Amino acid sequence: MLAIGHRGACGYQPENTLASFRHAARLGCPWIELDVYHVEGQLVVIHDDDLARTTNGEGLIMESSFAYLRSLDAGNGEQIPTLQEVLEVADTKMNINVELKGPDTAEPVAALLTNACQNQWHSEQFLISSFHHDELTRASTKFRRGALFGRPAADIIGRSKEMSAFSVNVSLRMISQELVNLAHHAQLKIYVYTVNDRPDIDRLRNWGVDGVFSDFPDRVMENNP
Ligand code: G3P
Ligand code: MG
């Protein structure tokens, strides 16, 4: 079962910072997940649309300048990183799930990843995901798509196939053995977020879940056969 470091290794370091991604690398994490917005032509890595929770700034990401965002402390003196900086930290050794959080992110993300694929990276090392399915379907089909669902919905599997998804990424409260089986029957991988407790990790492994997002990705790796 794949260990996907959620916002890096955010159980240990401030989420979505280079310190968090470096920590995931030190743990030997094969995949990291991060969240992106597109601000003044730059892809910035941050989760909330509001700055208050994770930085010393205030206001909305989409109403801020890139210079202002870069002036903020995102925890322990870390800057809000750009996606390009995270690729440099990952250095092709960790694969990356880019979650499209902000509007109009699909095209610039695909452009940046396409450029990376001309420099050492391979397209299968990336997964582009989103809860915003219209945005997700604007992402280049060169890259694998993860259809995110946060709550139970009708025909999750059919909708994921319509989006040409590679994986269906669901919240822990939605997962069941039946959903795992349905995904696999449809040739979809199934990934589950956010899984931090060892009994949940073990249960999902037994159900045949393909990967889990964890703030403590070492907990997922430690019991992998
Ligand atoms: O992509 C998995 C997970 O990150 C989705 O939820 O809110 O943590 O971005 P959220
Ligand atoms: Mg996310």
From ligand 1's centre to the CA of 193, what distance in Å?
Answer: 7
CA 120, chain centre distance (Å): 21
What tokens does 215 get? Answer: 């703030």
* Three-state SS at 26: helix
Q: Give ligand 1 pocket residues (Cβ under 6 A).
A: 6, 33, 35, 47, 99, 129, 148, 169, 193, 213
d(CA 190, CA 146): 9
User: Does residue 74 carry a pLDDT above 70?
Assistant: yes
- Give the pLDDT score at 225: 67
- Residue 207's Cβ-count burial label (10 Å; 0-12, 13-18, 19+) is middle
- The CA R_g of the chain, rounded to the nearest whole Å, is 17
Q: Kindly provide the b/e burial profile for residues 52-86, where b requires at least 16 CB atoms within 10 angstroms of the residue's own CB.
A: eebbebeeebeebeeebbbebebbeebbbbbbebb
- Please tell me the chain's helix, strand, coil percentages from 3-state DSSP, rounded to the nearest 5: 35, 25, 40
Average pLDDT over residues 111-132: 98
CATH number at residue 209: 3.20.20.190
- Give the pLDDT score at 223: 73
From ligand 2's centre to the CA of 197, what distance in Å?
Answer: 18
User: Does residue 119 carry a pLDDT above 90?
Assistant: yes
pTM, rounded to two decimals: 0.98
What tokens does 160 get? Answer: 């994921």
Nearest atom in ligand 1 to the alpha carbon of residue 6 is 4
From ligand 1's centre to the CA of 144, what distance in Å?
Answer: 17
- Give the pLDDT score at 166: 98
The domain containing residue 13 runs over which residues?
Answer: 2-221
Q: Which ligand does the CA of 48 lie closest to?
A: 1
Average pLDDT over residues 131-139: 98
Concatenated DSSP letters for 169-201?
A: EEEGGG--HHHHHHHHHTT-EEEEE---SHHHH
Q: Whose alpha carbon is nearest atom 7 of ligand 1?
A: 47
Ligand 1: which of 10, 16, 32, 33 to mutate, judged by most atoms within 8 Å of the beta carbon? 33
* Three-state SS at 76: coil
Q: What domain count does the chain have?
A: 1
- Number of CB atoms found within 10 A of residue 188's CB: 20
What does the pLDDT look like over 17-73, one tens digit per residue? 999 999 999 999 999 999 999 999 999 999 999 999 999 999 999 999 999 999 999
For residue 97, what are the β-bridge partners?
33, 127
What does the pLDDT look like over 90-104, one tens digit per residue? 999 999 999 999 999
- Give the pLDDT score at 68: 98
d(CA 41, CA 159): 31
Contact (Cβ atoms closer than 8 angstroms) between residue 95 and residue 86 = no
User: Does residue 105 carry a pLDDT above 80?
Assistant: yes
What does the pLDDT look like over 144-198, one tens digit per residue? 999 999 999 999 999 999 999 999 999 999 999 999 999 999 999 999 999 999 9
